[in-house]
Structure formats: structure tokens, C-alpha cells
Amino acid sequence: MFSKQFNHNLIEKTVSQSLLKSETEVKSCLTKTTFSSQDLSTLLSPHAENYLETLAQKSVSITRQRFGNTMQLFIPMYLSNECFNTCTYCGFSLEYKYKRKTLNTDEIKQEATLLSQKGFKHILLLTGESPKHVSTPYLKEALQIITPLFSSVGIEVQPLEQKEYQTLIKAGADKLTLYQETYHKKSYLKYHTFGLKRNFNNRLDAIEKGAKAGFYQINIGALLGLYDWRYEAFSLANHLDYLMKKYWKIKFAISFPRIQDMIGSFHEPYPINDKHLTQLITAFRLAYPDLGITLSTRESQTLRDNLAPLGITSMSAESNTSPAGYTKGHYEEQFQTNDNRPLKSIITMLKKKQLDPVTKDWDISLMPN
Ligand code: SF4
């Protein structure tokens, strides 16, 4: 399992090496036509910040070569805001005393039907982490209702066991999203003060249980703002290298979510600016040409418009982060979104940028059984 070989000291060393890369090394690296994860320490160095334009041009070119002009669109749907964990940065955290909600089967059907009628064919189901309210049988039932309405159904739920993941795959889930939040263990324990989520290794290894269970696609990442962004980036690359080598049949994707406002008053201790976020996206595109990169509505309309052509392959749209948020809209949100445009406006924006917004992933239907 990855937790056994994850080496904090090695990551710290890579961060230090990256900070020392010279401008000459950056210039030399950028003359290459192909890159690997070994180049990330140069591409993410402080001197590389001055070459964002070159990084962006190369990123656009690689993305168009590998993915054409396609931009996958999806919508998140929250099934529950119950949570038995205390995560100091999250609006669903256990200590907030508001009325919690888990959708019943009728509500699931109503919400999913509405989203399907809006034109979405890809959906991501999310929950808090409360095995009592959102058990594997509950998720299985939800999937059985939702799957017939969509061509792809992803899940972002608490870490599960391989057999549980298999049950959910059989019920129609094809994508698994599970973020480590932070790969820095000391910080992880500082932000996750109560609940099963305090188990750092359990979260790290659940991804692999999902890979063994046979998900078509797996999305990983860190929640940016909790610790130094370069440390998170090199850890993510280390995790990806491990997974891609061992589970080469699986399609992998990453995301760089940044902490947003929520009910409490959490202020991120390691904020990451737009320039560094752009550097991250473009550097990962160069190092991993076939990797999916997702951009969520956490980011502003302007930034999403600017980043969309640079290496992004998948975007959420019209997101609401509360259960029954689309049909009822009065339960507590996990966090506030910043781009609230309807699907139609996102499609128009993408077309203006010569991108082809798609709501259906045809290659899933072409996959052998
Ligand atoms: S981040 Fe996830 S586990 Fe933590 S409080 Fe929020 S919903 Fe619960």
C-alpha cells in the first residue's frame, strides 16, 4: 500500500531542491519537447513563475494533442450533510449544530431527475462522512435510482473497503474521487481533530482499494491552503506515479481545490494565489500529458474562463453544495461556490474559446465489459 512507502523526508527534500532551481535550469527544461514527473521540481520552482506564458502555451498544445478540444461537464449532487468528523475547514464539520439532512429515495429521484433534465449526463454524488446515515446499502440504493438517468456516475464519499467499492461499481458508479486533503501528516492531524478521518493512512490507502475494486476513473488531490502548495504538489505526483505504474488500466485525474468560505471562520494558513494555481495546472499537464485535470466552481468565473483552455479536461457547472440544493435549496452548504452561471452560459463561454463542451463520455460506452 502507498502509505508504507510514502516518504515525508523525500518530499521535503524535493521542495528544497525546487526552491534552489536556477533560471538557467528552468530555461533549459522548457526547451524540452517531452516532460516527466522528474521535471516538476523545475517547473514548479520560483524561477519558473516568470515563464508562465511558455508553460501555458506548451500546456495548451499538449492538451489539444491528447484531448482535442473536448471539455467534459458534470454536476455535483449532495446526498447528505451528516458528518461524524471534525475537520476545521469544512461547513459539514460535526461541531456545527444545524439541522442535518440525508435525502430519502423520493428526494434523490427528484433531485437527479431535475439535473438530468437540465442536460447533464455526468454526475458526482457527494456526502459527508457518516457511515450511520450514508452506509454502503444507502449508496447502493441511491446509485440504482440515479444510474439510469446518467451516462457516468462518480462518488465522493467516506473511504470504503474494496468489497464495498465493488458493490457500488456494480450499482453503477464508475468514478471515484477521494482527496487526501493534505499529504502533510502533522498538519493533517491538526485539521482533523475528531472522527474516523483522523486516520491518515486509511484515507491514503482507500484510493488503492478503489483501484483494486475496478473503478474506470480515479480522481485524487489535496485541498490547497492547508499546507505548503509545493509539498502537496510533489506528494501528489509521488502518489500518482505509484498508482499509474501499479494500476495502469485505470484513468487517473487530479484536481486542485482551494479552500473557500463556509459557515465557520477558518482562514487558510497557506493560501495559494492564482499565479501559483496556474503554474500547478500547466506544470502537471506537461509532466502528465494524459492526465485528466478538473476545475470546480470553487474558482471565480473570470479565473475559470482563463484556465479552461490551459490544460483542464473537466469542469463542474451550476454546482450547489447542500443536499437537495437544486430542488429545495434550504439546507446548509459545505462551502460557497464562486461561479454560479447556468450550464448554458458555461457552454457558450467554452464555445467562444473554441472548446467543445460535452456532457457525455463516449469512451465509457466503448469499453470492453
Ligand atoms: S471535509 Fe468531509 S469529513 Fe470533513 S467535515 Fe467535511 S464532509 Fe465531513
**123 touches 75 (CB < 8 A):** yes
Residue 303 predicted with pLDDT over 60: yes
- CB 128 less than 6 A from any atom of ligand 1: yes
The answer to whether residue 48 sits within a structural domain is no
Residue 170 lies in a domain: yes
Q: 158-186: per-residue pLDDT in tens?
A: 999 999 999 999 999 999 999 999 999 99
Is the beta carbon of 93 within 6 A of some atom in ligand 1? Answer: yes
H-helix or E-strand spanning residue 80: none
pLDDT for the residue numbered 262: 58
Range of the domain at 333: 70-270+288-364
Decide whether any atom of ligand 1 lies within 6 Å of the 129 Cβ. Answer: yes
For the chain, percent of residues with pLDDT exceeding 70: 96
Q: Residue 331: what pLDDT?
A: 81
Q: Which of 82, 96, 129 to mutate to test the pocket of ligand 1 (most atoms within 8 A of CB)?
A: 129
308 has a pLDDT exceeding 90: yes
Distance (Å) from CA 87 to ligand 1 centroid: 6
The reply to whether ligand 1 has any atom less than 6 angstroms from the CB of 332 is no
Res 304: pLDDT: 95
> Phi/psi at 208 (nearest 5 deg)?
-70, -35
Ligand 1 pocket, 87 CB below 6 A? yes
| Percentage of the chain lying above the pLDDT 90 cut | 88
Residue 367 has pLDDT above 60, yes or no: no
The pLDDT of residue 365 is 43
200: in domain: yes
Domain-located, residue 35: no
pLDDT for 117-131, tens place per residue? 999 999 999 999 999
CB-CB neighbours of 352 under 10 Å = 9
Looking at residue 225, its pLDDT comes to: 94
- At residue 360, the pLDDT reads 61
Instruction: Give the closest residue (by CA) to ligand 1 atom 2.
Output: 128
| Atom 4, ligand 1: residue with shortest CA distance | 87
pLDDT at 359: 73
CB atoms within 10 A of CB 32: 12
Q: Candidates 156, 197, 203: which one to mutate for ligand 1, based on the most atoms within 8 Å of Cβ?
A: 197
Across 249-258, 274-283, 351-360, least confident range: 351-360
What is the pLDDT at residue 368?
42
**What does the alpha-carbon distance between residue 278 and residue 274 come to, in Å, rounded to a whole number?**
6
Cβ of 90 closer than 6 Å to ligand 1, yes or no, is yes
Establish if 218 belongs to a structural domain.
yes
Q: How far apart are CA 342 and CA 362, in angstroms?
A: 23
CA–CA distance, 154 with 255 (Å, rounded to integer): 14
Least confident of 220-229, 305-314, 316-325: 316-325
What CATH number does residue 241 fall under?
Answer: 3.20.20.70
Mean pLDDT is lowest, of 67-76, 88-97, 196-205, 354-363, for: 354-363
**60 inside domain:** no
What pairs with residue 73 in β-bridges? 315
223 lines ligand 1 (CB under 6 A): no
* pLDDT band at 243; cut points 50, 70, 90: very high
| pTM for this prediction | 0.94
- How many domains does the chain divide into? 1
User: Across residues 211-227, what is the average pLDDT?
Assistant: 97
